[in-house]
Amino acid sequence: MSLCAMLRRLESSFFTLALLLFTNVSLADSLRVGIPTLGQIPFFWLDEAGEYQGIYPDTLRLVAADLHRSLVFVPLSQARLRRHFEMGEIDIEMGVKDNIEDRPELKKVSIFTRPFNVINEVIIYRPELSFPVFILNDLAGQHVATVRGNTVPDNLIREDFTNEWQIAQRVHRGWNNIGLMKEEVALYYQRKHNLNYEISLPYASNAVSFRVNILEKEIVNDMNASILRLEKAGVLEQLVCKYLCGPTIPNVQKQTN
C-alpha cells in the first residue's frame, strides 16, 4: 500500500495516539540518542521551544516508555555522531538503513532493531506533465532536481540543491518540472504549505531501524518487542499520520533533557 493511501485511511486515528503519547511513565536511567544537527522534517527537527519533534523521536519515545528508560538527545554532525557511537558515547542512532555500508569500526559496535518505518523514494512533478512519471526510466534525458550528494541514475540530467525544501518550492513554482525526494517529505511540504505538485508511486523503498550500541545490547530484544506491539496496534501508522494527515494532535510529552 502506498503511503498516500495509508494516510487517507488513518486520518481519523489521532485520538488513540494522543492518549498513548500523553501517558506518564516512571523512567529510570537515560539512553543517549545521537541526532544530526541538521534536521529533516518530518523525520526529526528542533522546534522553537528547543524540543525535538518528528516521526523518529516520537517513535523512540514510545519505545523508551515501554522500556522504562528516559532519553537524552545529543545534537551532533553526522560524522561526529558516528565517531561518538564508535567510542561508546552514543547509545542509539535513529532511522538507519540496516543495509547501510558502514566502516568496519562502526559495524563492530552496531546492533539493529527490527524496522519501525519504511522510507519511500518518489518523484514530484508539475501537474500539467502528461507523461506517466512512476519510475526513473520514464525520466531518461530529463532535468531532475535532487539533493546534492544523492545517487541519481546516469541517464538523468541532475540539478543539485541543498535540501528537499528547495526542490519542493521549485517544482511548486514551475522553476523545475521534476524533483526526487522522500515520500514523507513530499507529503509534509505539500500539505503544510499547500504546494502544487503531483507525487508518484514509490520507485524505491528502504526499511529503517534504530542502531543500538553493543554496550546496550540487552535492550534490543525489548525494543523489538515494543516496536512489534506498536506496529500491531496500528500506533506507528497513527504516528506517521500525526505529521502527514493535515491537522496535528496536541504536542506530545517530551522525554528530553
Average pLDDT of the residues of the chain: 85
Q: What pLDDT shows up at residue 27?
A: 39
For the chain, which residues make up each domain, given as ranges?
3-117+205-244, 125-204
Q: How far is CA 54 from CA 51, 67, 80, 94, in A?
A: 10, 20, 22, 11
- Tell me the per-residue pLDDT of 135-176, one tens digit each, with 9 for 90 and over: 677 788 889 999 998 888 888 899 999 999 999 999 999 999
pLDDT at 250: 35
Q: Which CATH architecture has domain 125-204?
A: 3-Layer(aba) Sandwich (3.40)
pLDDT tens profile 239-249: 999 888 865 43
- Per residue in 197-209, pLDDT (tens digit) is 999 989 889 999 9
**221: pLDDT confidence band, cut at 50, 70 and 90?**
very high
Same fold, 3-117+205-244 and 125-204: yes
Across the range 95-109, mean pLDDT stands at 87
The widest CA-to-CA distance across the chain, in whole angstroms, is 57
| CATH number of this structure's domain 3-117+205-244 | 3.40.190.10
The average pLDDT across 77-87 equals 94
Alpha-carbon distance values, 179 to 40, 144, 199, 227 (Å): 17, 5, 10, 33
Return the amino acid letter for 231: E
